[in-house]
Amino acid sequence: MARSRTSRYLTRVLACAMVALGAVPTAVLAGASPAAADTTAFRGVNWARLGDNFHGGPLVLHGLSSSDSYATVQAKANAIYTGFQNNLGANTVRLPINTYTVGTAWWNSYTGAIDAATAKGLKVVLSYWDDGVAASGGRIVNTAAFNTMWNTVVARYGSNPLVYFEPMNEPGGHSAADWANVVNDWLNARPSVPRDRVFVSGAGLNTDIKSMCADRRLDGTLVSLHHYTFFSGAKTYDQWVTFLRDAIGSCAARTVMDEFGAPMDTGLNYHDAASADNFVRYFRATADVLRELRIGSIYWPGLGGKVTAGQGDDWYAMQKLHGTGTNLTLSTPNASGLNRLRHAWGLGDGGVPPDAVSLLRNVGTGQCLDIPGATTANVQVQVYPCNTSAAQRWTLTAGGQITALNGQRCLDAYNRGTTNGTVVGTYACNGGDNQRWTVGGDGTIRGAQSGLCLDVNVTTSKVQLWSCWGGDNQRWQVQQG
């Protein structure tokens, strides 16, 4: 992800955006398109260090520990990749490297993450991130250190067809011409690496791919594009479509968007085509363009990333981490965001969540789990005579969440309560363990954090947590809606 100190490049990108906005006020996907692409084989996410990958030290990815052995890293990575595959449908992971990671003892352990991915059939994109040694300020400043690092990496993985190489992430300190020269030198120094396994970052903040496509010396390579709302001003859906299509130009057949993202834990509804929220407009437009032009993409981040104030990870994170040691699981904080990502990948229609929508009928009362008034405000849930309204339509996701109102709200144990009487209601999905549930074969629905059962107070019809005791007021039938 880009850093603020490359502001001169953000200014350049904003200027381009304003030109696009002035020249083309609206866009339609049915219009003339760049050549159809075939990079859809890349459906991925970034696994990042907690705190971002721009780091002057070894890159210890979220969920790993600097003391982990190769075997431990491999075991942890295997659990995380299982989550990426099962929860998202991903087949690609982008991993960062730097001179500290490759040139120290940590490399012996870190390779466990790469090897675990390829063992599961995942493609791996290895990307060098500025570390203040080989590069500083987005510019290669120590060519010897840069080449030594890459020679070590290529010696180990050059013959593995599942491993791809991105010489540098966001080369913002180089001009477009200078950066093309750097990449050409990289290719010439490693003729054994097939060109179709090399990602050439767009100039600047991975934003200018057209100049890379135009350089005949780089023919046969892939080009990588980064695309964020903060690279330019707010736009309508149509303007986001125009802006992105202009950035891609005629390069679609070679392009992989290996960074893009939006908030996933603030309750945004990415199904809402009429939304006035800039993030929603951006993410919907991006997914539609990627799908139509058949461009592969790697979301930022799948796990880890910058730490957003007041929480433990990046607010863009598509997955939340749970567990300790090698016993790790992932959950999805925003079902509508995931659905749009899968839409971009060509895996879903992007309109409704892929998981089955159900009624949750309480055995003891014969009534269904219900959101009073179908409100999107935070409210304690209840049981109410069963009907087909949106207030009673629930989605049980693969990540253990129970979502409602097209993914806008999650069933939540309020205040992370773990005692009898804890209020259960709706709340913005955030990936917390208090929003994860297990539907048992005995008809109970148990909170993952508390172990308590979803319980109906038969006097008030309100729903709460209570110690599991086998009563019918704690038994539920999942009925396809």
167, 126 Cβ separation under 8 angstroms: no
Whether pTM exceeds 0.75: no
pLDDT at residue 356 in the model: 63
Task: Give domain limits for the chain.
Answer: 4-344, 357-480
Full 3-state SS string of the chain: CCCHHHHHHHHHHHHHHHHHHHHCCCCCCCCCCCCCCCCCCCEEEEEEEECCCCCCCCCCECCCCCCCCHHHHHHHHHHHHHHHHHHHCCCEEEEEECHHHHCCCHHHHHHHHHHHHHHCCCEEEEEECCCCCCEECCEECCHHHHHHHHHHHHHHHCCCCCEEEECCCCCCCCCHHHHHHHHHHHHHHCCCCCHHHEEEECHHHHCECHHHHHCHHHCCCEEEEEECHHHCCCCCHHHHHHHHHHHHCCCHHHEEEEEECCCCCCCCCCCCCCCCCHHHHHHHHHHHHHHHHCCEEEEEEEEEECCCCCCCCCCCCCCEEEEECCEEEEECCCHHHHHHHHHHCCCCCCCCCCCCEEEEEECCCCCEEECHHHCCCCCECEEECCCCCHHHCEEECCCCCEEECCCCEEEEEHHHCCCCCCEEEEECCCCCHHHCEEECCCCCEEECCCCCEEEECCCCCEEEEECCCCCHHHCEEEEEC
pLDDT in tens, 349-375: 444 344 567 899 999 999 999 999 999
What topology is assigned to 4-344 in CATH?
TIM Barrel (3.20.20)
pLDDT in tens, 76-129: 999 999 999 989 999 999 999 999 999 999 999 999 999 999 999 999 999 999
**The domain at 357-480 falls in which architecture?**
Trefoil (2.80)
Cα torsion 15, 181, 184, 110: sign: negative
pLDDT along the chain (481 residues), means of 10: 42 35 34 51 98 97 98 98 93 98 99 97 98 98 99 98 98 98 99 98 98 98 98 95 97 98 93 93 96 95 92 93 94 91 79 63 95 95 94 86 90 96 95 86 86 96 96 88 56
Cα 112 to Cα 109: distance, rounded to the nearest angstrom: 6
Cα 149 to Cα 158: distance, rounded to the nearest angstrom: 13
pLDDT in tens, 434-448: 998 988 767 889 998
